[in-house]
C-alpha cells in the first residue's frame, strides 16, 4: 500500500493543511499556548554523588524530565549522528522507500509515516525512521540505512555511549528510591533491555497553528534520551498548562517513561508531552527508548509497597502493557 509521506506533501508548496492533519480545536497550538521561559531542571553528572542522586530523584518526581550536562557523549559524535540522520532524509524518495515499514504486520522498524485508520482520526505532521540498536540479538542491520555509508558506524558508537549513560541514570534513579544501584536495571531485564532509535523528522508546515508533530502522550519506555536539532517544538504538561522546553546545545533530555513510573509506584512521573511544528524550518530529533524485553514482568517494586503505600499499578508483562497502550485500553 502506497503511503503519502509528509516530507513529500511539504515539498509540494501546500498553502493549506490536508484535513487529516488539522487537530480538533481544543488540541490546536493556537488555542493551547505554552508558557515560555520555564526552566526544566539542568543537572551536571559531575556533581558530588549524593547531591546528584538527590537532584535527579527530585527532577524525576516533580517534573518527569531533566536536562543532563557533562554526560560523556562528545558533541562531535552527536553532530555526526545528526548529520547521518539528516542525510538519509535528503535521499531520493525511491531510495528511502526501500526501507519502508509495514505497521499492519506489527513491524515498525524502518522508514515510516503514521496513517489514519478512519476518517475521524488525526495524524501528526511527521515522518520517522525507527530501528533497534541493542542488544545485538535483536538488531537487524537490514533495517538500517545503507546510505549514508557511515550511518552504521556512527549509530553503533552512539549506542555504546547511550548504553553507558542509561546505566548511570538508572543507577542514580535506583539510589534515589533508596534501593541498590542495580535495582531498576535488573527489574527492566538487565542486559536484555532493548534500545530503540527513532529519528523524528517534522518538515515545514503551512499551518503550524492547526497541527501537531506528535499528539500529547507519555512514553511507554523506561527512559527516553533525546537530542534535537536547533528548531524548538517540544512541550510538556505541567501544573495544568503546556510548558515550552528549551534544550541548550550539548545537553541531553531525559524523559521518565511509563515503566519507571510503574516500578517506582508513582514516585517518578512519566511526563505528558507533545511536539509542535514550524512554518519555515525542519525540526528533527533523535530519541533512544530504553524498554524492557516483551516477556519482562513490570509492576511496583516490592520494596516500595507497604500498607501505607499500596500498589498504584497492576503488574503485567511489557508485551501486555504495550498492547494496551497501542490500543488505548485501560492498564
Point out the residues that are catalytic. Answer: 198, 217, 219, 273
Helix H or strand E encompassing 292? none
Q: DSSP strand E in the chain: where? A: 42-44, 65-69, 110-113, 127-134, 194-202, 214-217, 223-228, 234-238, 241-244, 252-256, 273-275, 283-291, 297-298, 316-317
Helix H or strand E encompassing 196? strand 194-202
Instruction: Give the C-alpha separation, 188 to 171, whole Å.
Output: 12
Instruction: Give the C-alpha separation, 47 to 55, whole Å.
Output: 10
Instruction: Give the C-alpha separation, 247 to 157, whole Å.
Output: 23
Bridge partners of residue 298, in order along the sequence: 316
Question: Do 43 and 69 form a contact (C-beta atoms < 8 A)?
Answer: yes
Instruction: Give the C-alpha separation, 294 to 68, whole Å.
Output: 29
Q: Which three cell numbers mark 201?
A: 523528522
For cell 509528509, name the residue. Answer: 6
Q: Which three cell numbers mark 322?
A: 504495550
Amino acid at each position: 500500500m502506497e503511503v503519502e509521506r509528509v516530507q513529500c506533501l511539504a515539498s509540494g508548496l501546500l498553502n493549506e493543511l490536508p484535513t487529516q492533519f488539522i487537530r480538533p480545536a481544543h488540541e490546536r497550538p493556537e488555542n493551547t499556548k505554552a508558557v515560555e521561559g520555564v526552566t526544566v531542571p539542568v543537572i551536571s553528572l559531575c556533581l558530588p554523588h549524593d547531591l546528584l542522586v538527590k537532584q535527579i530523584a527530585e527532577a524525576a518526581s516533580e517534573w518527569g524530565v531533566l536536562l543532563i550536562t557533562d554526560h560523556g557523549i562528545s558533541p562531535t559524535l552527536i553532530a555526526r549522528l545528526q548529520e547521518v540522520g539528516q542525510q538519509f532524509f535528503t535521499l531520493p524518495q525511491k531510495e528511502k522507500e526501500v526501507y519502508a515499514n509495514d505497521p499492519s504486520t506489527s513491524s515498525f522498524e524502518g522508514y515510516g509515516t503514521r496513517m489514519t485508520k478512519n476518517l475521524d482520526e488525526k495524524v501528526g505532521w511527521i515522518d520517522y525512521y525507527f530501528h533497534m540498536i541493542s542488544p545485538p540479538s535483536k538488531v537487524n542491520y537490514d533495517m538500517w540505512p545503507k546510505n549514508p555509508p557511515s550511518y552504521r558506524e556512527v549509530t553503533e558508537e552512539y549506542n555504546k555511549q547511550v548504553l553507558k549513560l542509561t546505566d548511570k541514570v538508572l543507577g542514580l534513579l535506583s539510589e534515589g528510591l533508596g534501593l541498590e544501584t542495580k535495582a531498576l536495571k535488573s527489574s527492566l531485564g538487565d542486559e536484555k533491555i532493548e534500545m530503540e532509535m527513532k529519528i523524528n523528522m517534522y518538515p515545514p508546515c503551512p499551518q503550524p497553528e492547526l497541527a501537531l508533530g506528535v499528539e500529547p502522550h507519555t512514553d511507554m519506555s523506561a527512559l527516553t534520551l533525546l537530542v534535537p536539532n536547533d528548531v524548538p517544538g517540544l512541550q510538556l504538561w505541567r501544573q495544568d498548562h503546556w510548558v515550552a522546553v528549551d534544550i541548550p546545545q550539548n545537553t541531553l533530555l531525559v524523559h521518565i517513561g511509563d515503566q519507571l513510573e510503574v516500578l517506582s509506584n508513582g514516585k517518578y512521573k512519566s511526563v505528558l508531552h507533545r511536539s509542535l511544528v514550524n512554518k519555515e524550518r525542519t525540526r528533527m530529533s533523535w530519541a533512544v527508548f530504553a524498554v524492557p524485553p516483551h516477556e519482562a514482568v513490570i509492576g511496583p517494586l516490592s520494596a516500595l509497597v507497604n500498607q501505607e503505600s499500596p500498589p498504584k499499578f497492576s503488574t503485567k508483562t511489557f508485551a501486555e502493557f504495550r498492547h494496551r497502550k497501542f490500543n488505548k485500553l485501560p492498564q
